[in-house]
Structure 1
Amino acid sequence: MLQKSCVLTISILAFFVSMDCSAGYPLFEDLTKLDLIIEMPMRTIVNDAEDRPEVPGVLRYTDAGSEVALDFTMSTRGKSRLEYCKFPPLSMNLKKKQVEGTLFEGQNKLKIVTRCKPGNLYERYLFQEFGIYGGFNVLTDLSFRARALSVTFKDSEGERKDEVLPAFFLESDNEVAERLSMEPIKSSTIDPAQLDPKHASVFALYQYLIANTDWSTLKGPGSESCCHNGKVIITPGTTDGWIVLPFDFDQAGLINTRYSMPAEGLGIRSVRQRVFRGRCLYLKHLDESIAKFNESRPQIEEALNPPAIDKRNRKKALKYIDDFYEIINDPKKRKKKIEDDCLGKR
């Protein structure tokens, strides 16, 4: 399996932490912030978001001093955010032939994560969710990469004023699989024994760090394929060693959005309460996972606290992260809060 290294870089003037990861298509080879113009019928996308409209539009950016224009079809996506947010998460469908030889070569469908509502609070939510992707990149290349954006949204119908908003692109599971010589699959359910135990251990511990309970590595929500807020990639022809790539972290206690709710059946009232949801099957790799978290702590803390976060919230986040490290490095706390709470048979 092809493994690659990521270098964490921080610019004091940047909105986001940048992760410089080699390989893949051009868009995610350089993860510095990208300036874009997106022109489309904004009123339709925003006002009719829950109807999941599909609208045409044009993406513009500058490359080596020249403007590049690409046609797209945009639609809304998501569930809880689609219902709650005034500005919905988006899915951009580009034309394969048109993107050849451009920064977007190899891209077809791209997820765009946007600021949910106006105001600094919701920008912080966005920056912190972006940082969570970066934190997981520090721990493993088997993860989604995100690229920070500054987007000027222009209304093609001239009914709304231009808005310049922070956002980020999210790498597709197809692209992650390709750069790792794997392939994405869809399955209704997955047996815990089919997952790569080392990755599954790091996955669960990271979800515990950020206090996210809005996920499942066994099945999808309702009749959907596995997994809930996770995409499965495998080495072709294998029946085990499978990888679940986590995404959608807006319900994490680290962020603590106004609309976040604890997963049902966990007996907690606040998303700030950590609950370990890893499988007992993977506990034999817990020591190794903890060692990785300890070794990478400075980089993880940097990723989870992008420069755009104000001093008060950075301090609050660092304290929350410190509480996690106290648990994993104290044998008694670790046993009570992690080992004794694992799911399934030991």
Structure 2
Amino acid sequence: MKAALWAALAAFMSVPALAGPATPLFSADTPIRITIKGPITALTSNRSNAQRAGTLTVTGTQESYPIMLSVRGITRRQGDVCQFPPLRVDFPQHPAAGSLFAGQRRLKLVTHCRRNEDFQQKVLLEYAAYRLYNLMTPLSFRARLANIDYVDEDGRPYISRIGFFVEDGDDMAKRNDLHEPKLGDRVSVSQLEPRGAARFALFNYMIGNLDWSMRAGPAGESCCHNGRLLSANKAGSGVLVPVPYDFDFSGLVDAPYATPPDAIPVGSVRQRVYRGYCAHFNEARAVGADLSARRSELLGLLSTIPGMTERTRANAADYLGGFFRDLDSGKALKNCVN
């Protein structure tokens, strides 16, 4: 049993810098332009779980797909929080091989929440968080920016806004030659792969995200909260590596609706708290040293985000700079969770 555990651990520790190829949609970072046509007004006014038929067309190509649209999310789903909800896009028919959406079955679409320009920048900041984690490890969700023309089912334009698709969890696992096992509502610290868990925690500290758990899901749901656990086998035996997602409650994004969890005594999501486990402290120091050495690369990513204003970029760089100052001073890893 112990030999199998260490074998699985070794497999995770030897993950190559470049994993397997992504599906076509997530194999590049250039923004795409699409039109989503369907009952958009109905989706924004009635936020039930009902699926509604529509079409997705890639601008400038012959690619057009029948899709099913549904509302998803928790906080952003609420009408008093977001004028426009996050969406799930299902493909009832397999997109043709070689097409941009080949291999896609079900995708999360992160949308603009509210109409004003500031929320376009919030979308880009959350997208930047995904890209930052991509730089840290291939064990991460890829994302693809999209300029989206939303058109109601009667043909009338509804709104055009930036959004982004998030890679499916199974595709992300497959790309890394791993599996996403079905687990219960809680796992133990000893089941977590130390380096991956330390990286997960320190990244969330970097972007000021407190809205996560790598060990438990929300009440009544399976593990984990804003994180997925990957395993070397479908059963989930051996070590599990956590992968984060959903960063709109982070200090980096600083959404006006974002509040810290009740159990964490801070006054703002901009305040950082390291929530990594003491059992992984040595690995956290190693991850911190690696990130510190790559400071210029990580901060430089912000200049590659299309549509991000200079003001947004400068504010984000200053906020991330605070993380590196915390690393230099020792503040970042001063405390840990037992």
Would the aligned equivalents of 2:209 and 2:247 in 1 still touch at CA under 8 Å? yes
Among 3, 16, 36, the alignment partner of 1:3 is 16
> Which TM-score applies when normalising by structure 2?
0.90
Paired residues, number: 320
Q: CA deviation at 1:238?
A: 5.5
Q: Establish whether residue 70 from structure 1 lines up as the match of residue 65 from structure 2.
A: yes
Q: Establish whether residue 138 from structure 1 lines up as the match of residue 125 from structure 2.
A: no
1:61-140 alignment runs, 5 A limit:
61-62=58-59, 66-83=61-78, 84-140=81-137
Would the aligned equivalents of 2:72 and 2:86 in 1 still touch at CA under 8 Å? yes
Q: CA deviation at 1:308?
A: 2.7
The change in CA–CA distance for 1:114 and 1:255 in structure 2 (over 3 A counts) is same
Matched residue, 1:184: 180
Structure 1 unaligned regions, length at least 5: 6-20
Matched residue, 2:329: 330
CA distance in 2 between partners of 1:328 and 1:279 (Å): 17
Matched residue, 1:9: none
CA distance in 1 between partners of 2:96 and 2:17 (Å): 26
Whichever residue aligns with residue 152 of structure 1, its letter is: D
SS at the partner of 1:257?
coil
SS at the partner of 2:157?
coil
Q: Establish whether residue 169 from structure 1 lines up as the match of residue 182 from structure 2.
A: no
Would the aligned equivalents of 1:196 and 1:242 in 2 still touch at CA under 8 Å? yes
Matched residue, 2:253: 255
Q: CA deviation at 1:252?
A: 0.4
Matched residue, 1:8: none
CA distance in 1 between partners of 2:145 and 2:316 (Å): 21
SS at the partner of 2:122?
helix
Q: CA deviation at 1:37?
A: 1.0
Would the aligned equivalents of 1:220 and 1:227 in 2 still touch at CA under 8 Å? yes
Matched residue, 1:17: none
Q: CA deviation at 1:307?
A: 4.8
CA distance in 1 between partners of 2:298 and 2:217 (Å): 28
Structure 2 unaligned regions, length at least 5: 1-10
Q: CA deviation at 1:304?
A: 4.4
SS at the partner of 1:184?
coil
CA distance in 2 between partners of 1:60 and 1:205 (Å): 39
Matched residue, 1:153: 150
CA distance in 2 between partners of 1:93 and 1:265 (Å): 36
Would the aligned equivalents of 1:138 and 1:296 in 2 still touch at CA under 8 Å? no
The change in CA–CA distance for 1:297 and 1:53 in structure 2 (over 3 A counts) is same
CA distance in 2 between partners of 1:173 and 1:133 (Å): 14
Would the aligned equivalents of 2:94 and 2:103 in 1 still touch at CA under 8 Å? no
Aligned identity (percent) is 31
Q: CA deviation at 1:256?
A: 1.1
CA distance in 1 between partners of 2:298 and 2:260 (Å): 24
Among 286, 298, 301, the alignment partner of 1:300 is 298
CA distance in 2 between partners of 1:232 and 1:330 (Å): 32
CA distance in 2 between partners of 1:238 and 1:66 (Å): 42
Aligned structure 1 segments of 4 or more residues deviating by more than 4 angstroms: none
Would the aligned equivalents of 1:134 and 1:145 in 2 still touch at CA under 8 Å? yes
Matched residue, 1:339: 334
